[in-house]
Amino acid sequence: MAVKQMMHVLTCTGIADSPIAPTIFVQSRFPQISGTSLKSPLFVNPVLGKCGGFTGTEERFRLKGKNFQFFSLSSSSSSPSPITSMAVLTDPKQVLVPIANDTEEMEAVIVADVLRRAGADVTIASVESELQILASRKVNLVADTHIASCESHQYDLIVLPGGMPGAERLRDTPALQKLVQAQAEQKRLFAAVCAAPAVALQTWGLLDGLKATCHPSFSEKLANQEATGSTVVQDGQATTSRGPGTCFEFALSLVEQLYGKEKMDEISKPLMIRPEKVKPSAEEYNSLEWKGRDASKAFRVLVPVADGVEEMEAVIIIDVLRRAGFDVVVASVEKKLEIVASRKVKIVADALLEDVETLEFNAIILPGGMPGAERLCNCDTLTRVLRKQVDSKGIFGAICASPAVVLEPKGFLKGKKATSFPSFSKALPDQSAVDARVVIDGLLVTSRGPGTAMEFALAIVEKVLGFEKASSLADAMVLPYTKISVKQMCH
């Protein structure tokens, strides 16, 4: 049923608090039920519910920035049902993620993306004078608003990303300190990762008497040392974590606190999170040595971005490769530098792709996400750049949807082993390695999704600079990393 017809049948005129779903007050084209109050028992089961002889099935959708649930109802009685459908306005959890210049971009973006996947209304707020901030690895992020506009709002959760000196800039923002202190006083959730637990929360006195963790290089600053080696620590309303490598677990723990374990499990599966107690390694076939075109210059990598790309994948690739010292060029395939990613994170590219088309790149690495991968595929300039790269025996790769949506239709996977996001893997010509988290075949590297993106980027670092360099970066990110497993040498 179209939204217009749906809203003609029923208009939501009121909301009451409920841990399951709101009470709704309806106005209908049927006068006998106008003003009827349907209580929350209808929604005891979020998919199927019963109330007053009616059963229903549920769909979720957004309209003008609001979350709705659409119920199709049928009567269990012999008389015709006056209610055929209804739209219910739900009240999403409100989450604040403040950012500053030199915030760790992976941490900020992973938290925002994962919580938005869960249905939270996440506000990314700049503590700087401008909405655009330059994060720790020089990714340009654009906030939704300024922190000053958040002072009168109440949030279900406030999450501080780390990064230095970004965490100090958050700490030194009075408006943010006031918000988080009020959050703690009113027994609402607050959280921080990496440097932020020690630099901000500890300084504000919000961890007194609580167990907490943080990045290993800051753990000595925590007053309570009992849990500093833990990945994620929840004590009362406070949740803390260690770094980029623990950020998926951190964000999922916040989803569980806001929405419950069932929602956390639902969100976790498509993220392709690293299995517990497993140290997966990239699988390599037809092993070749990866070299830069000119050893006297930095290893130059092109990361194309488009509206609708997966922001976690793009930012993780850029961040990790810049940590390795690579010259990473973020290029927009749109007609503008600012792109809006799949979960509405705004990223400003370094250049337009058409302006860097003539440059030589040691590697070209594509993020995934839909419809971003389709926009990459439909970019003629990118197709020319990729074809030039492949023909000149340059390194290229893709993650998530992009191996199947971009590389395969253009013939770049012919005779190659590859992997991709599971729902796209059937499109890959060679199915023998599709279950691997990272696959390297000669000069091609592919991977599966957001939760494999760090391993994907570190495998590229290992191929260029060696295992020791990749391992040291992983340690700094608080991420287990295992050496590439060579399955087949080049004949």
How far, in Å, are 29, 37, 52, 135, 405 from residue 33 at the CA level?
8, 9, 13, 54, 49
Least confident of 24-28, 228-232, 238-242, 385-389: 24-28
Given a contact cutoff of 8 angstroms between Cβ atoms, the answer to whether 175 and 196 are in contact is no
* Cβ–Cβ < 8 Å for 221, 199: yes
Other beta carbons less than 10 A from residue 241's beta carbon? 34
Q: Per residue in 190-220, is it b (16+ CB within 10 Å) or e — as a string?
A: bbbbbbbbbbbbbebebbeebbbbbbeebbe
The pLDDT value recorded for residue 143 is 98
150 among known catalytic residues: no
Question: Cβ(275)–Cβ(437) under 8 Å?
Answer: no
Domains and CATH numbers, the chain: 3-90 (no CATH), 94-271 (3.40.50.880), 283-486 (3.40.50.880)
d(CA 9, CA 84): 8
pLDDT tens digits along 39-92: 332 332 333 333 333 344 444 444 444 444 444 444 444 444 444 444 444 568
Does the reported pTM lie above 0.85? no
Q: Is the peptide bond before 371 cis (omega within 30 degrees of 0)?
A: yes
List the catalytic residue out of 194, 247, 377, 379: 194
Q: What is the mean pLDDT of residues 151-159?
A: 96
Whole-number pLDDT of residue 80: 40
Cis peptide bond upstream of 46, omega within 30: no
Residue 53, pLDDT score: 39
